[in-house]
């Protein structure tokens, strides 16, 4: 294990480097004394106790007697006493949020799920299952399943419900929706959906708004997308199978060996092939542990590291001039005084007579041979990259010249002072990136993405790519490495008539707690109240102000307790039809297949959606069943037809077919034509000039930055990361995995010692927004001066409160410039921790 003292050179944690180190006690997985037991005495505000839950669950519902015997998985999982009479094997598709989309082989005995294995007919390279998948036998029959429709009887948030029938529940939902439509209009209803459930038709059918995700996962992509005109997930990536061709791979802000576990083989194969894998992470993550080099940066400072790299490449002329001249905007001329790019025509404007936009014409470059400014296409090979010129009486400089000037303050030494990595290390990575290619920058979505200004990282990354041309070739790329980024096909799309369109929101939904978004009713799918909104205490006030909330979900997760009506849905293993889902990604087409009948009174997603649509008089526009939809999607897909993939073929091939011609990894922009107006890479963002990010400029975080006076009160930066033991809040109900992924607050032993905290102590993490209490765990992998939890713990398993009580909901004022708006900066959070 590493010694933090010698690794840390940043100012933020100077005290730590001098601090006394203490041995880390072994990790112990003590059983939670509440989770699985029925002796809980939770306060009313924290939801139903297990006993209450069973009371409503069992007392009210009919048809539960049979299911009741398998509610508790203890009984269900008891030793088999006799040979099963009826056994079958079903191949089906599992989850996709984990980026696994594994095809599973399920053994079903006497109508019950009995064993889960990887689909052994799939190409071994893609043949996987993880501990979550295996645990589904227990997760599906979990005590935490919502069993029957319920109506709230106590105060909102108290968690008291009575069981009602489906008819009554759907009628109530209909009455409340109609009431809201009459009183405020259709746009007053908002569908708040987690990523996993599939209810794609309701927003259009009901004319309601949906979608909170723009604040999530696009932080870095917001900054990189404008340079290539691609999507905010970083369209510059080659598939990660291409990493075997990469020589220098820089991975930052992602722990992809846990968050993209099923693509781990691409990482390990690359390593075996000799790729140098460099991981930037404040903490010694699983991925850092397997990399060639780990660089522990100060949380939220990656942009400084990349800016230092840019300077090193510029100062040492390690850039690729031919690439820059032909494929980027670096030779374009700008007005030195204003930073405006020169055009052959007038500036952008509107023709006064016609109202049509005026074409400002081509960008200009300096043609050295002619000694004149010409349209860029006229001097592709000869355009000057550097220098300053007189053009029509104006002083003009090239874009590259402008970058060089802008970079002056951002030396490697400056970067060392900000991000904590040594100037030599930054220089070494820069040299390797520029000269040791093919090189690839893989960003995360969970780590550095979730501060206030990750766009600067993405933008600086695109500057590096533009300087070196590390794109469009085998082994090159920039963007998110999570999920592999393979090929997929387009499925047929069931079209609704014209009149059905979702409503548009005036403000993004994560801002509802701050401003009146006109929303009075929420249709909640999954656990978004806990998951999406940072700063839970503020969110709670907004939730309290709502007229009606219907929750549609599988488990007794946090959001349930705020609902007025609860509708239970099935797991992916239960169904009323043979196939409910067909999906295509990561070089495959996968089919979901029914393993067992719906448990309890739960219904499949599709059926619930249909019931609501029927109640609102628009059911006729939907397919009759999910199976009809699956058939439609397959039969109306040109791509599938081309590949000769039909439903019958999929069934014959055990629910999973690899696409044709996918042996070579998918590669992006191989023609080096980008989706920008000039089809070149355009790393200079002229339109961002007013917010001072035309070039990536260093900016401190909102809260977690060195020198923030708040750090005197709240000195620890708080990070939440994914774990291989759950998909966000999903799988918290599986006791087999619970024991490994209990909500704990991990701290470095030095920070525990200075606070008198021992491993296993109950601690409180707090700041001005709120607090939560949970068990402290000593972990030398956690950076001194920080603390960490696995993201998305259910409140009922946390001693008190929820991690979201302390997270930061700051909105970067650059909001309007960013393609999808400012990110939700969950990790840009300072707390103090004390013994509770």
Ligand X SMILES: Nc1nc2c(c(=O)[nH]1)N[C@H]1C(S)=C(S)[C@@H](COP(=O)(O)OP(=O)(O)OC[C@H]3O[C@@H](n4cnc5c(=O)[nH]c(N)nc54)[C@H](O)[C@@H]3O)O[C@H]1N2
Binding region for ligand X (CB under 6 A): 97-99, 194-197, 216-217, 252-256, 258-260, 280-283, 285, 297, 299-300, 302, 444-448, 450, 482, 526-528, 531-532, 553-555, 557, 569, 572, 605, 719-722, 724, 726-730, 791-792, 803-804, 807, 826-827
Nearer to Mo ion by C-beta: 217 or 703? 217
Size of the site for Mo ion (CB under 5 A): 1
Selected range binding ligand SF4 among 99-107, 143-151, 307-315, 365-373, rule: CB under 6 A:
99-107
Alpha carbon separation from 203 to 101, 196, 208, 318, 523 (Å, rounded)? 25, 16, 5, 51, 10
Q: In the bound complex, what is the minimum distance in angstroms from residue 484's beta carbon to ligand SF4?
A: 12
The reply to whether 132 sits near ligand SF4 by the rule CB under 6 A is: yes
d(CA 211, CA 200): 11
Q: Contact, 823 vs 702, CB < 8 A? A: no
Task: Detail the DSSP E strand segments found in 144-211.
Answer: 150-152, 161-163, 189-193, 209-210
Q: Would the CA dihedral through 377, 379, 385, 390 be positive or negative? A: negative
Binding partner of residue 258 among ligand SF4, ligand X, Mo ion, none, CB cut-off 5 to 8 Å per kind: ligand X
Alpha carbon separation from 513 to 520, 536, 801 (Å, rounded)? 12, 10, 19
The reply to whether 196 sits near Mo ion by the rule CB under 5 A is: no
Q: In the bound complex, what is the minimum distance in angstroms from residue 348's beta carbon to ligand SF4?
A: 47
Q: Contact, 48 vs 57, CB < 8 A? A: no
d(CA 570, CA 197): 10
Question: What mask, x for binding ligand SF4 by CB under 6 A, covers residues 255 to 294?
Answer: ------xx--------------------------------
The reply to whether 217 sits near Mo ion by the rule CB under 5 A is: yes
Q: In the bound complex, what is the minimum distance in angstroms from residue 102's beta carbon to ligand SF4?
A: 3
The reply to whether 95 sits near ligand SF4 by the rule CB under 6 A is: yes
Selected range binding Mo ion among 216-224, 227-235, 638-646, 717-725, rule: CB under 5 A:
216-224
Q: In the bound complex, what is the minimum distance in angstroms from residue 675's beta carbon to ligand X?
A: 24
What SS3 class is residue 455? helix
The reply to whether 241 sits near ligand SF4 by the rule CB under 6 A is: no
Alpha carbon separation from 374 to 364, 370, 377, 391, 466 (Å, rounded)? 5, 9, 8, 10, 22
d(CA 18, CA 3): 12
Nearer to ligand SF4 by C-beta: 165 or 739? 739
Which tokens belong to 592?
């979901």
Strand 744-747 relative to strand 582-585, pairing: unpaired
The reply to whether 449 sits near Mo ion by the rule CB under 5 A is: no
d(CA 21, CA 630): 58
Q: What is the 3-state secondary structure (H, E, C) of 669-723?
A: CCCCCCCCCCCCECCCCHHHHHHCCCCCCCCCCCCCCCCCCHHHHCCEEEEEECC
Q: In the bound complex, what is the minimum distance in angstroms from residue 724's beta carbon to ligand SF4?
A: 8
Nearer to ligand SF4 by C-beta: 311 or 723? 723
The reply to whether 94 sits near ligand SF4 by the rule CB under 6 A is: yes
The reply to whether 666 sits near ligand SF4 by the rule CB under 6 A is: no
Alpha carbon separation from 615 to 143, 178, 223, 624 (Å, rounded)? 31, 10, 44, 15
Nearer to ligand SF4 by C-beta: 130 or 291? 130
Tell me which of 47, 60, 100, 236 binds ligand SF4, using CB under 6 A. Answer: 100
Nearer to Mo ion by C-beta: 172 or 445? 445
Q: In the bound complex, what is the minimum distance in angstroms from residue 519's beta carbon to ligand SF4?
A: 32
Nearer to ligand X by C-beta: 327 or 783? 783
The reply to whether 302 sits near Mo ion by the rule CB under 5 A is: no
The string of DSSP letters for 227-284 reads HHT--TTTTTPPPGGGGGG-SEEEEES--HHHHTGGGHHHHHHHHHTT-EEEEE-SS-
Q: In the bound complex, what is the minimum distance in angstroms from residue 115's beta carbon to ligand SF4?
A: 14
d(CA 335, CA 398): 9
The reply to whether 101 sits near ligand SF4 by the rule CB under 6 A is: yes
Binding partner of residue 605 among Mo ion, ligand X, ligand SF4, none, CB cut-off 5 to 8 Å per kind: ligand X
Tokens 């984990």 sit on residue: 98
Q: Is 751 left (phi over 0), alpha (psi -120 to 50) or beta?
A: alpha
Binding site for ligand SF4 (CB under 6 A): 94-95, 98, 100-102, 128-130, 132-133, 261-262
Binding site for Mo ion (CB under 5 A): 217
């Amino acid at each position: 294990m590493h010694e933090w003292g010698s690794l840390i050179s940043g100012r933020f944690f100077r005290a730590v480097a001098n601090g006394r180190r203490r041995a880390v006690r072994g990790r112990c997985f003590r059983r939670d004394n509440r989770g699985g037991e029925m002796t809980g005495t939770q306060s009313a505000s924290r939801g139903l106790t297990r006993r209450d839950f069973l009371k409503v669950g069992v007392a009210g519902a009919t048809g539960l007697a049979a299911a009741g015997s398998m509610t508790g998985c203890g009984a269900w999982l008891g030793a088999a006493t006799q040979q099963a009479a009826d056994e079958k094997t079903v191949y089906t598709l599992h989850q996709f949020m984990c980026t696994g989309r594994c095809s599973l082989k399920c053994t079903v005995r006497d109508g019950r799920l009995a064993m889960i294995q990887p689909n052994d007919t799939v190409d071994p390279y893609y043949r996987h299952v993880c501990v979550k998948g295996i645990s589904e036998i227990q997760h599906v029959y979990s005590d935490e399943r919502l069993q029957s429709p319920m109506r709230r009887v106590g105060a909102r948030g108290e968690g008291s419900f009575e069981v009602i029938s489906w008819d009554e529940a759907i009628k109530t939902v209909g009455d409340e929706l109609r009431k809201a439509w009459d009183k405020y209009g259709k746009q007053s209803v908002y569908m708040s959906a987690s990523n996993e459930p599939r209810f794609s038709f309701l927003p259009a059918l009901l004319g309601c708004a949906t979608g909170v995700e723009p604040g999530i996962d696009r932080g870095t992509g917001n900054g990189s997308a404008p340079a290539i005109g691609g999507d905010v997930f970083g369209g510059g990536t080659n598939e990660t199978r291409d990493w075997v061709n990469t020589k220098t791979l820089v991975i930052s802000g992602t722990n992809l060996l846990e968050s993209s576990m099923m693509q781990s083989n691409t990482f390990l194969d690359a390593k075996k092939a000799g790729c140098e894998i460099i991981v930037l992470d404040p903490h010694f993550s699983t991925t850092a542990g397997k990399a060639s080099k780990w660089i522990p940066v100060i949380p939220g400072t990656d942009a400084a590291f990349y800016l230092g790299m840019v300077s090193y490449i510029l100062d040492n002329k390690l850039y690729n001039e031919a690439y820059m001249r032909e494929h980027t905007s670096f030779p374009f001329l700008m007005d030195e005084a204003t930073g405006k790019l020169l055009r052959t025509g007038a500036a952008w404007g509107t023709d006064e007579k016609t109202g049509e936009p005026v074409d400002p014409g081509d960008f200009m470059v300096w043609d050295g041979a002619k000694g004149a400014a010409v349209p860029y296409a006229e001097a592709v090979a000869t355009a000057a990259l550097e220098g300053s010129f007189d053009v029509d009486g104006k002083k003009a400089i090239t874009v590259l010249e402008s970058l060089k000037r802008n970079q002056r303050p951002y030396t490697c030494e400056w970067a060392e002072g900000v991000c904590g990595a040594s100037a030599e290390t930054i220089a070494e990575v820069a040299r390797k990136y520029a000269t040791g290619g093919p090189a690839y920058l893989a960003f995360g979505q969970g780590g550095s993405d979730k501060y206030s200004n990750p766009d600067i990282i993405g933008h600086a990354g695109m500057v590096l790519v533009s300087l070196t041309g590390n794109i469009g070739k085998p082994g090159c790329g920039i963007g998110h490495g999570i999920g592999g980024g393979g090929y997929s096909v387009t499925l047929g799309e069931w079209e609704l008539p014209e009149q059905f369109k979702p409503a548009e929101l005036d403000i993004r939904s994560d801002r509802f707690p701050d401003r009146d978004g006109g929303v009075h009713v929420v249709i909640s799918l999954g656990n978004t109240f806990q998951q999406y909104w940072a700063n839970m205490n503020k969110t709670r006030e907004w939730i309290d102000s709502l007229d009606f909330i219907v929750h549609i979900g599988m488990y007794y997760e946090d959001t349930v307790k705020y609902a007025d009506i609860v509708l239970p849905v099935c797991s992916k293993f239960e169904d009323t039809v043979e196939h409910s889902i067909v999906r295509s990604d990561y070089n495959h087409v996968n089919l979901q297949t029914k393993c067992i009948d719906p448990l309890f009174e739960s219904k499949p997603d599709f059926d619930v959606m249909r019931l609501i649509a029927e109640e609102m008089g628009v059911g006729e526009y939907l397919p009759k069943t999910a199976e009809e939809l699956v058939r439609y999607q397959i039969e109306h897909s040109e791509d599938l037809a081309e590949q000769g993939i039909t439903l019958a073929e999929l069934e014959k091939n055990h629910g999973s077919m690899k696409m044709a011609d996918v042996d070579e990894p998918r590669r992006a922009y191989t023609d080096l034509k980008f989706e920008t107006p000039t089809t070149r890479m355009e790393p200079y963002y002229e339109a961002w000039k007013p917010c001072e990010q035309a070039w990536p400029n260093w900016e401190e975080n909102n809260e977690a930055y060195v020198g923030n006076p708040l750090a005197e009160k709240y000195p620890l930066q708080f990070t939440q990361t994914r774990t291989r033991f759950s998909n966000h809040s999903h799988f918290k109900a599986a006791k087999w995995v619970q024991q490994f992924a209990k909500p704990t607050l991990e701290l470095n032993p030095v920070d525990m010692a200075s606070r008198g905290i021992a491993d296993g102590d109950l601690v409180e993490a707090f700041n001005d927004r709120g607090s939560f209490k949970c068990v402290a765990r000593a972990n030398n992998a956690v950076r001194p001066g920080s603390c960490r939890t696995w993201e998305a713990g259910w409140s009922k398993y946390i001693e008190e409160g929820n991690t979201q009580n302390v997270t930061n909901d700051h909105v970067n004022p650059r909001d309007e410039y960013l393609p999808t708006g400012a990110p939700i900066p969950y990790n840009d959070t300072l707390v103090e921790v004390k013994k509770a």
